[in-house]
Amino acid sequence: MPENENSTLNILPLGGLGEIGMNMMAVSWGKDALVIDAGLMFPDQSMPGVDLVIPDVELLVRQGWNVLGIILTHGHEDHIGALPYVLPRISTPVYATSFTMGLVEHKLEEFGLLATTERREVSPGTSVRLGPFEVDFFSMCHSIADSVGLALRTPTGLLLHSGDFKIDPNPIDGKLCDLAKIAAYGDEGVLALFSDSTNVENEGRTGSESAVRPVLEGLFREAAGRVLVATFSSNTHRLQQVLDLSHACGRKVVLVGRSMEVTTRIAQERRCLHLPPEIFVDVKDINNLPDERLTILSTGSQGEPLSTLALMAADRHKYLQVKKGDLLVLSSRFIPGNEKAITQIINEFFHRGARVEYEKILPVHVSGHAGREELRTVLRLARPRYFIPVHGERRHLVRHGHLATEEGISEDRIIIAQDGDLIELSQSGARIAHQEEVKRVFVDGKGVGDIGNEVLRDRRLLSEVGLVTVVVVIRGDTGEIVSGPQVYTRGVTYQELEDELLHGAAAAVKQKLAELPLRPGEEWAEYQEEMRLAVRRHIKRVLGRKPLVQTIVVKT
């Protein structure tokens, strides 16, 4: 595709720059655009009650771009999880490799979107043409099967997107990173490289997935009872190793956890997982086999409260109880924020006589993201004119930028962007033109975008200081008090202090109302605020706290 030095390409990151997760980026030429990935992010402790966080899709709509397709690099939730919320607003074809498409189709079916979504399956080594864009797909190694990088030919020049990756010299499925293809693009001339920054703080190289095999094998060989392996269901390479080792050690495998069952089925159908013969048994039949012939493959490695591991730790699982002699292997990393929940499960398993092994003790897990030396390799092969680090918090992006300068890319050709930055890119220059207003959209039950920062603030306050409710019944025509005030609390004080607190709060409200002239009910808004302040002052005086206070006036 010929280059046009007078043309400008727009890049708009909607998620994934400034956080880990919620990856989504739009590339536009004129009014035509395509989107790379559409991921979600799981809420942290500052988002009580929120189920999921997704990018601001309305920002895309406001641009007025004609979105020609959504291109997916792989099947992790932080890259595909927002699709059911994006597609109703932006009806466009979805392009993905076989296994990724299988995961997408399952998700779309759950949301009733499968029949109305155009899906186009691609494979490494193929290309698709979308308006002014031509997209090449090439193999990259990651902790999920069928991952790809993207080479995007535009009228302005060639863009290279690494996707999530590591350079694994001995991948489980034998599919190596296509470094020769990256080098060929470098020879062709890469206008801009977008590269995964997640593990930029890790020196050296990330270990091969195959390095986990001998560690797991040693544990399997020495285990006298059941082996429980907890890992991410999407890590098909890890699942393959557990299945192969179980078969080699004469063990049958019980799958527990809905996502584990679904992902295993899809991976088998898409030929990304090869099952040993008659390897599975139903969880209901585990008592028909001796413990030394059982492997339990489960989700819940992050301490999720309703996961199989959490239920076993609390002795609440219908079929599985922790036994003395069990071996639990947590074959995944501890995601920051989950440490307390995970260690609680570990302690409970130890308390019940099990043995637990995890990454801090044994190398039972390797990352799917590239370390610094692998990131250097891609920079050296691609030799981009401009470099834009992606997929990471600000510290990751900045450090990746420093790494690029060490590889000879001048600082003025490195763009450290954040969500909402509209990047203008041409052969003659690159710059952040302006910052679009971008927000995080919270999914709360069936509500999408229904709650904002004010609601989250109130929820945090409720969890920290509790709620006091004041109820007064008045005559609507005169404002005369008929009943009350009655005061109720939730999460404010100890039971032994509650009567004193409630009576004092009610007295404070009654005194304040006695000081105010009678008014009809429709004029009581000001009085409700006075009631609220009277209760707050009383509780602050007694307890030194300022809970949320709501006032309810019932008119008769």
Catalytic residue among 74, 142, 369, 400: 369
Structure tokens belonging to residue 9 = 């390409």
92 residue type, one letter? T
Alpha-carbon distances, residue 136 vs 10, 40, 73, 103, 160 (angstroms): 19, 25, 11, 22, 10
166 DSSP β-pair partners = 141
Helix H or strand E segment including 242 = helix 236-248
- Sorted by sequence, the CB contacts under 8 Å of residue 95 that are 6+ apart come out as 69, 70, 71, 72, 120, 121, 122, 128, 135
Q: Do 450 and 531 form a contact (C-beta atoms < 8 A)?
A: no
Identify whether 187 is a catalytic site residue.
no
Q: What is d(CA 445, CA 443) in angstroms, rounded to the nearest whole number?
A: 6
Give 332-352 as a DSSP string. S---TT-HHHHHHHHHHHHHT
Identify whether 402 is a catalytic site residue.
no
Helix H or strand E segment including 103 = helix 98-110
Q: Do 452 and 444 form a contact (C-beta atoms < 8 A)?
A: no
- Residue that the structure tokens 């190289």 belong to: 205
The DSSP secondary-structure symbol of 86 reads H
Give 269-312 as a DSSP string. HTTSS-PPTT-B--GGGGGGS-GGGEEEEES-TT--TTSHHHHH
Catalytic residue among 196, 244, 326, 421: 196
Helix (H, G, I), strand (E, B) or coil at 320: coil
Q: How far is CA 171 from the centre of its chain?
A: 25
Alpha-carbon distances, residue 304 vs 149, 257, 307, 321, 336 (angstroms): 31, 11, 5, 17, 13
Structure tokens belonging to residue 259 = 């996502």
Catalytic residues, by residue number, are: 196, 369
